[in-house]
A and B are shown apart, each in its own frame.
Chain A
C-alpha cells in the first residue's frame, strides 16, 4: 500500500477500514542468502538497501525484541555531517544526502527537518578547531558557516550572553543539519524492506553462530537454526555480546547514555544547539518537547539506565547556556547502550570469519549515520568491497595504526 495525502483522505472518509499492516509477521525460513542480525535503524536500513538498491533477495532481519527497539528508538534525533577527519566527513555527508531524499524514496514521512545545528565555541582554541572542521566539511562537499558572537546572538538572542562562566565567542553552523523523527526512520526502512520482500522477524534472538572451517554457515536463534550465506551484525550496544558468540573480542565497550525530553511547549528553539563548555545539546521536537542530552555516564553498562550525577550535570549545562528554559520541566529521562569504540568511530567491515560482517562502534552518534550505514553495509554485503565513503572503517585499523579519532582522546572509549 502506497501512502499519500490522497490515501489518508480516502481512509478518513471511509472509516479507516482500508489500512493494511505496515509490515508482515513472517515465520523464519530455514535458509536465507542474507541475514541481518539486529532490527534497529542500521539493520533495517541495511536490509532496505540490500533489497531495493542492490536488488538482493532471500533476506531476513532477526530482531530479538520489537522492530526499532534499539538506539533508533531512544536517541535525540539529530542528523548532521559536521565531522573533521577525512575518514569520517565524506561518509556523514553521504548520509546527509541520503537523508535529504529519504522520505520520497521510502514513501514514509520521517519528518526530516533541516533546522540547522549550531555548535558554540567559548575559547579561541575551540574557534581554531571549528575553522579546521568547517573547512574540512566544505572540502567534502558539505555546508558550514562560522558565526561570531553577534551572529549567534542574532539567531538565539535568549542564550546566556550576559552572565556566563564561559562566554559564547561564536559558533559553527551547519544549516543542512537538523532532526528526524527517530521511530519514523525505523518504520520507514522496515516497511520499505518488507515491501521488497525482506522477512522482518521479531522476537527472534540470535544465540550462536554455526561456523565450519572458518566459514559461517548460519545462526542459532531462539526460533531455531537458520542457514545463511552471509550474516551482517548490526546490534550496536550488544555487539560485544553477539560477536563473542563468534569467538571475537572487539575494540568496543558498552556504555550508557542518557537522553531527556521536556514537557511539550510551544515552539521556542528552532534548530539544534550544542554547548561548547559543558555537556549539553538540545533541539525541540515537532511535538513541542525539548529533546536534550549530554555526556555518557562513563562506566561500562548494559543497564539502559543511568545515574543522577549526569542528570544534574546536563541540567547545569542547559541552565548555564539557556537560563530561559528554567521553567520548563523534564518529563522523561531514559538510557541506551552505546557501542563506544576505541577511537570514537565506527566499524563497517568483514570479520576473520568468512561470511560474517560487522557494523558496530557507533558510539552515541549512530542515528545520523543510519542511511549511510545501511547503504554502505549493504554495499559491503552485496559486493564484498567497501563503499568509497566507508573505506576507513576497517576493523584492523587499530592494529595497523589508522585510528579515526575526531576528539583526539585515544583508546579510551568513555572519553569519545
Chain B
C-alpha cells in the first residue's frame, strides 16, 4: 500500500527500520504500526492462547494485538505496543510469541485444539498422575504462556525520579485538555499539561475536519501561546499512570524512547506530581462488536482506521468495509473515501441506518464471519437472514466509545452505567480534587470536549481561589453518535471479546453456565481483561454480554475496578535510578578515610560502611587478621571506631527522671561524672536495646544505643518525651553523627590515652571504671572520655567532634606505636565481646527478655518504667532459657550460631528443642571455637554437655555449658 495524501508525517525525513529482520522505510511522525501498515505489513503478532495471526487493532496505547519486542541485546523490551512506538532510524522490532516464523507458527496447532481450551479448562484437568503437573504439564504451559521475553541482562540505561508541584494538572492533550490548559495557564496559575502522545492534539489529529479551520493550525497557535507562558509546563510523551492520595499523581516521561539510544540523557523519568486540582481529559477508547472470526489482521477499530488515514496517511487496505452501530462508523467511511480508499460497504446494524455517502450502506446488517489466512480477505454480511460475502482487506468496527475514566476510579469509586451515553461514567470527586472533561466524561463531540475542558478548568481554579475566564474557542463539529447498542453478533463461531487473552463470547457464556457470573468471577475464570491492555478494549463488552445472559442491567452486572498503572510502566523507571550500588545511601564513619588508607576491608552495617578488619601484608585469611587484632588488643591496646553506636544527648532539669522512666534500671541516682550500663525494654516487656548512660552534668546525660537501633530508640525517646511526659523539663538531640567515638581497649589503653589527653588525671583513682568527663585532647580539642569496656579489658571510649575522627585515630596509633597500638574492626569487636559474654544484636533480637539475658533483676520494681509491667507476664517469667557460654568438647569442632541445643540422646525435634546458639566465633584467647546461646535452665547447667545440632549443614557437635564470660570472669581487668 502506498501512502495516502496528507497526514502529519514528515515525508522529507525517511527512517529505516527492521521488523523480523526485514528492512522497511517509514517517515518521521510514524509509529511502528503506521509504518508497518504503510509497508503492507498487516500480520504483526500471534494470539496468546490459540496463536492465531493478529494485526494492529487500534492506533493508541490500548492496543491488544500488535505487541513486539523492541530493540535488541540488553535493551530488549518485550510487549511494546507498535501503536505507540515512535519510529526512529534503525529501529529494530521483532514479533513475539510464536515457534517458527510469524507467518508459520507451529503453535497455531492450538487453534485446532481450541475446543479443549475453553475458559477454565486447566482447573479441571492436569491433576493425574500427581507428579505430572510439575514435571510435564506446568512446564509445557509456562513455555507456551507469556508474551515477549526479557534478555535477562541488566538494563544499561539511566533513569531518574523527580517531584513537581502545580495548581492544576491537566491529563491529556486532546481538545478538552488543550482547552483546559489554555484556560488555566492564562490566569498565571501553575499548570502542567501531560499527554502520552508525542504530538499534542489527541483525536483532533485523527479527524479530517473537527474544527471550522484546520485543526493543526489551531493546535500550532495554542502551542505557540503555551511556549510563551512560563507558568505552564507542557509534558509530551508523558503518561499520568496513577492517582494517589491528596492530589499526588504518578507520571512517566519517556525522555529518550524515540531515539536510537538515550545518549547522555535518561531514558525515562518518574514524576511525582502534587496538584491542587486535576482534570482528567484522557479521551475515550472505541469498542468493537464481536462477531465470528473477528480477530484476523485487517479487522480494527473504525476510529483507528480513520486515525491512520488522517494522521499517518495510510490505509490498511485498498478496499475496506465498515461495521458500525452508530454514525461514527460512517465518518471513517467518508474520510477514507475522500482519500481514495474504496469503501466496499458500510454494514450498519441499525435498521434505520442513514445513507451518508456514495458508498453502499447495508442497514440492519451484521458482519457474521470473516475469511483470510494471514489477513482479512472477505467478510460475511447477513441482512434479514440473507448472507453474502464481501471482499475487503480491512474492516473498521465501531461499537461506540468507552470514556477513559481509569484514573478517576483509582480510588475505588465505581463507574456507573449511563443509559443515555451508553457508557460507564465516573463522577467528579471520585478522586478528591479530580474532575473529568471531554470524551473521558462522555462529552465526545469536539465542540463538547472543547467547552467542557475550558469549563472544568474555570471550576477547578475557582475551587482554589483563582478566577479564570472561558477563552474563545474555535467552532467545532458537534455530532451525536446516534448509537443503537449491539454488544455482539449472535452466531456459532468464535467471536473474540478480549483479543490479547483470547477470550470469546463462548467463554463468557460458559462462565455464565458454570455460575461464575459476578464480574470478578467472570474476569478471573476467563482471564478477561487481565492482559497488558487491562481490558481497555474488552471489559465493557464482556460485561454487556454477561448482562444479556443474566437478564440484569449492565449497571446491576457491575464493573471491575481499574487499578494503576493506566498503561504499563517499566520497572526501571519505577526504580527511578536508585538501583545497583545506589540503592541506598552510604554512611561513612569519621575515620573512614583513614581506614581506607590503611587498607581496611569494609562491611555494610545497615546504611553504614564500617571497617571489618585491617589485613596486613602476608595475611591471606581474614581469620589470621582477626586473631592478630584480638591478641594485640588483649596484650597491648586496640583501637576501634564505634561512632555508629547511637548517641542521644539528654538535657534538662528532669533528665534523670526521664531516663528513670525510659530505662528498666535506675538512672536518676547516677552521680555526675559516672556512667551506668542501661537496659531498655519495649513496652511489651521484651528487651529492646542496651547501652551506656553517662551523666556529664547535673542536667545532662549522654546515652548510647546499639548501631541498629540508633534511629528507633531516638524516636522512642521522643515519643516518651512528647507523647507520654511532656510536662517534664527535658530536651533530646541525636548526636550520633556529631561525635567521632573510638574505643581504646587493652592493658595499655591508659598509657596511650595519657599521651593525648591534655592535663587531666585519668589514673585509676582519678578516673575509675565507669567514670566519664568532658576534657580536651591533643592540645585543646574538646573531647569526651568514658571509661567503659565492651571487651573485658581496661578500656575507654573517647569522643571528639566528628571532623577530627581521622586525625585522632592517626594520632593515637602514632603515639601508641611503641605500646603495640593496633586498629581493629567489627570482626574483632565481635570476638572481643563474645569472649566477654556481652550481648549484642544476635542476643537482643527482640524476642528475648531481661531474664533470659541474665538481667532480670535490673528491671526495677520500685519505679514505673517502659516495659516493666508487661515484662512480668506469666509466659515471660516462665521462659527459663538463659544466656550462657558454650565450648566444644572436642576443641577442633566448630560452633555455629543458629545451631539448636538438645540434651544428649534426646530426639532432635521441635518438642525437645532447648535453645540455640546465638553468636559464635573462634576465640584466640580460649583456643577453640566458642559460642553464646540461650539454653533452658542454662544458669544451673554449667559443666553439662549438650548437643549443638545444625542438620542444615550436617553438623552435630557436643558442647559444654560454661559461663558466658570466657575472659576475666571476675572483672578485674576493667577495674585495673
Contacts and interface: CB of A to CB of B under 8 A. Distances in A.
Q: In the complex, are there CB atoms of A and B closer than 8 Å?
A: yes
Interface of A: 3-5, 7-9, 11-13, 15-16, 19-25, 66-69, 73, 86, 89-90, 103-104, 107-114, 122-123, 125, 127-136, 138-141, 144-146, 158, 160, 163-167, 181, 183-184, 187-188, 202, 262-268, 277-278, 284, 286-288, 303-305, 307-308, 311-312, 315-320, 323-334, 397, 399-403, 405, 407-411
Output the residue of A123, A164, A326, A401 with the most chain B CB within 10 A.
A326
Contact of A125 (B125, B133, B683, B841): B841
Interface in B872-889: 873-878
Contacts of B22: none
B155 A263 contact: no
B973 interface: no
Q: Which 7 A-B pairs have the closest CB atoms?
A: A408-B846, A131-B898, A401-B873, A288-B146, A326-B155, A315-B574, A319-B575
B128 to A, nearest CB: 7
Nearest to A106: B127
B250 interface: yes
A135 B950 contact: yes
Contact of B79 (A7, A263, A318): A263
Interface of B: 48, 75-79, 115-116, 118, 121-128, 130, 133-134, 138, 141-143, 145-155, 161, 242, 244-245, 248, 250, 270, 272, 410-412, 506, 510, 513-516, 518, 520-521, 524-525, 527, 531-532, 534, 563-565, 568-572, 574-576, 578-584, 586, 603-605, 682-686, 688, 841-842, 845-847, 870, 873-878, 896-900, 908-910, 913, 916, 918-919, 949-953
Nearest to A303: B412
B242 A308 contact: yes
A331 to B, nearest CB: 5
Contacts of A16: 115, 118, 506, 510, 513
A331 B568 contact: yes
B951 A138 contact: yes
Given A140-B909, A286-B142, A318-B575, 8 more contacts: A103-B133, A128-B918, A164-B583, A265-B78, A311-B242, A311-B564, A327-B76, A334-B563
A109 B125 contact: yes
Contact of B952 (A123, A138, A141, A324): A138
Given A266-B146, A330-B571, A407 B152 contact: no
Contacts of A107: 127
A317 B576 CA distance: 11
Nearest to A407: B846
Contacts of A138: 951-952
Contacts of A4: 124-125, 127-128
Contact of B846 (A7, A139, A405): A405
Given A136-B913, A140-B910, A158 B152 contact: yes
A296 B582 CA distance: 23
Nearest to A6: B125
B570 A326 contact: yes
Contacts of B161: 312
A160 B919 CA distance: 29
Nearest to A186: B524
A268 B146 CA distance: 10
Nearest to A69: B520
A311 to B, nearest CB: 6
A323 B127 contact: no
Contacts of B874: 400-402
B571 A318 contact: yes
Contacts of B908: 139
B842 A125 contact: yes
A19 B115 contact: no
A411 B124 contact: no
A49 B177 CA distance: 57
B151 A139 contact: no
Contacts of B133: 103, 109, 111-113
Interface centre among B510, B603, B847, B878 (most CB of A within 10 A): B847
B531 A264 contact: yes
A330 to B, nearest CB: 5
Contact of B572 (A22, A111, A326): A326
A79 B906 CA distance: 31
B735 to A, nearest CB: 26
Contact of A324 (B153, B520, B525): B153
B115 A308 contact: no
A163 B520 contact: no
A165 B951 contact: no
A312 B686 CA distance: 34
B899 A267 contact: no
Given A263-B532, A286-B142, A132 B897 contact: yes
B78 A73 contact: no
A308 B583 contact: no
Contact of B248 (A110, A136, A303, A308): A308
B149 A329 contact: no
Contacts of B245: 307
B521 A66 contact: yes
Contact of B532 (A22, A181, A264, A327): A264
Contacts of B148: 263, 265-266
Nearest to B67: A263
Given A3-B125, A287-B145, A401-B685, A128 B842 contact: yes
A264 B579 contact: no
B146 A287 contact: yes
A414 to B, nearest CB: 13
B127 A307 contact: no
Q: Which of A184, A401, A403 is the most central at the interface, judged by chain B CB atoms within 10 Å of its CB?
A: A401
A7 B579 contact: no
Given A304-B412, A409-B846, A333 B565 contact: yes
A135 B900 CA distance: 7
A327 B155 contact: yes
Contact of A326 (B518, B571, B686, B878): B571
A73 B524 CA distance: 9
A265 B581 contact: no
Contacts of B124: 3-4, 7-8, 108-109
Contact of A264 (B127, B145, B524, B951): B145
A191 B763 CA distance: 82
A320 B910 contact: no
Contacts of A265: 78-79, 146-150
A333 B899 CA distance: 40
Nearest to A163: B580
